[in-house]
Homo-oligomer: A and B are copies of this chain.
Amino acid sequence: MDSENILERPFITITNLIWSFDHATNRVNILLVKRDNDPYNNYWALPETFMRAQESAEEAALRLVKEKIGMDLSGSHTEQLATFTNPLRTPGDRALSLGYMTFLPDKPQLKAGYGASDARWFTMGYTDKTYTFSDSDHIFQSTDCPVQRTYYSEFGGTNADPDKHLAFDHEWILKVACDRIRNKLDYQPNILLILGGKFTLKDARRVYSPFLKVRVEQIDNSNFKKSHQELFTDIGSSEVNGPGRPARLYKLAHLSA
């Protein structure tokens, strides 16, 4: 097919958004790494890898998890987010990014992997227009720009301040990811996999909260149960660990691949 016109093939990058839940703080977390190679050396970024010839993109995304946090997730849930192809997204060599998301059943300790001088969990929050991801030293945000073309035309590249902005177009990718998760909250809330195999309704509301940009108490438990019970299966009562009635435990009713 007009193969004489094919120029060099672009690099294919797998970008994986790795989510977890901290049961101590009851907050949603995402994994960011500090790059130690160019481009965007010393910027914080979503974890990335290159795809190998004999693996599917999903496999590459899971291998990336293993490299970054030393966790074997052969059976874990990974789903495709979108593919990012804008020529402006990388300086120099063209690179396509295939975006994936992995929902970890717990929040493991981290060790920096290949190509990263640091790897940390960032806690999710929100503002009026953005989602925020912060640790003790930094706060990063999804872009507040709603339109793709506008975002890339105003894209700062490597001039941005590495203490305030992420590498590449990762602030756009974060926006796409959070919007996607939010849209699926009412019919396929795979994000709840970060709660592990079982969870209480309150846990679920704590996960929904930042995506809906409301406080947990603003999500009425009675109504939440009524409108989501078809998605959850009751698997008995939780063990007691404090004052108050023990909560019932649920699991996701049907995961579709």
Bound Cα distance from A96 to B13, whole angstroms: 12
B1 A114 Cβ-Cβ under 8 A? yes
Query: Which residues in B have their C-beta under 8 angstroms from that of A87?
Result: 54-56
Query: Which residues in B have their C-beta under 8 angstroms from that of A98?
Result: 83, 85, 96
A53 B115 Cβ-Cβ under 8 A? no
Bound Cα distance from A115 to B4, whole angstroms: 12
A36-48 near B? 1/0 per residue, CB < 8 Å: 0100000000001
Taking the nearest CB of chain B, how far is it from the CB of A82, in angstroms? 6
Copies in the complex: 2
A52 at the interface (CB under 8 A from B): yes
Contact (A1, B50) CB under 8 Å given A80-B82, A148-B257, A149-B257: yes
A83 B83 Cβ-Cβ under 8 A? yes
Query: Which residues in B have their C-beta under 8 angstroms from that of A52?
Result: 5-7
25 chain-A/chain-B pairs, Cβ below 8 angstroms? A1-B48, A1-B49, A1-B50, A1-B115, A2-B67, A2-B115, A3-B50, A6-B50, A6-B52, A7-B53, A9-B9, A9-B10, A10-B53, A12-B12, A12-B96, A54-B87, A55-B87, A56-B86, A57-B85, A58-B85, A82-B83, A85-B98, A147-B256, A147-B257, A148-B257
